[in-house]
Amino acid sequence: MDDSLTVFVSLMFFGLLLALGNVAPQAEAARAFFVFGDSLVDNGNNNYLATTARADAYPYGIDYPTHRATGRFSNGLNIPDLISEEIGSEPTLPYFSPELTGQKLLVGANFASAGIGILNDTGIQFINIIRISRQLQYFQQYQQRVSALIGPEQTQRLVNEALVLMTLGGNDFVNNYFLLPFSARSRQFSLPDYVVYLISEYRKILLSLYELGARRVLVTGTGPIGCVPAELAQHSRAGECAVELQQAAALFNPQLVQMLDGLNSEVGSHVFIGANAYAMNMDWITNPQAYGFVTSKVACCGQGPYNGIGLCTIVSNLCPNRDLYAFWDPFHPSEKANRLIVQMMMTGSSKYMSPMNLSTIMELDSRV
């Protein structure tokens, strides 16, 4: 063989080995990620629905890589995006996205829908939203679609090894129990009894998720819902958090942790991981300057007191530097605040994560 041809073939072979070397670790490291829940984690499903619970217009997405609204209730990236970054995965696509086909299905999917809650009557004012029972049905449908692609055994393995995020509960207070002065649920239940009922219903949802194959489920508690700009605008005179809503979160979160512990005992392993969203958020709500924020009371985008009235739209007040604001709109954290939350999920102590943080989970699972 001619010397120059030999060198060329050798280089080609070496190049092929390099290419395979680059591909193989990524394929091995890939872990599917599934997302269920409400507007804190919705990344665009509601764009495909006839509902008012949408984030599909400017200035939503102003700091997203494309600088366009995507359906995320954020100025930029939301919590699922940032978890995907941390686990070295592509962002999950909304389940309703026409792009979610072929190999992209293997990355996982986001089933979340703004406005929903644990209960089916939560968010009824938004009309067309994907209630949690329907999200689980779509998860079943997703598995059938993936089975057609890689077979049932590989699909089961993909789902069993996946990371799952579940974010529910806030709307059951804000957009149900406390929505009206005399809501149907507040006439039916005292607040403590309502929380007990919510937890019992949530338990059924999480068991259904387990039965569908989920084995690593990150469950976020309810944040300090009485401290969001929307509630300050309605209930606060001097910037203090709304007492009843804070009381609701204080009742809900400990019972959620207790319920997750009970489920883990029942299934015999640490399937359900509790994320203390209340503590994570309160850190920067009580001391915004320590985290580089100028305020944790005024939303970047909105109008009225605390920019907490109505929706974030093109005619709203809009802050020039979103990184200085803990809240993006009347209800949702800014991308910077979301980054702080995800960092706590990854490396937080037992104050924030129970029984372990996400980095520990990733380390444990990598040994299996």
Amino acid at 120: N
Which residue type, as a one-letter code, is found at position 231? E
Residue 368: per-residue pLDDT: 73
Q: Report the catalytic residues.
A: 39, 329, 332
Task: Select the more confidently predicted residue: 99 or 22.
Answer: 99
Confidence of residue 367 (pLDDT cuts 50, 70, 90): confident
pLDDT tens track for 199-213: 999 999 999 999 999
State the Cα–Cα distance between residues 256 and 221, nearest whole angstrom.
Answer: 7
Please write the tens of the pLDDT for every residue from 164-199. Answer: 999 999 999 999 999 988 899 999 999 999 999 999
Question: Is the CB of residue 108 less than 8 Å from the CB of residue 89?
Answer: yes
Write the burial class of residue 228 (CB in 10 Å: 0-12 exposed, 13-18 middle, 19+ buried).
Answer: buried
Whether 222 shows a pLDDT value over 60: the answer reads yes
The model carries a pTM of 0.91
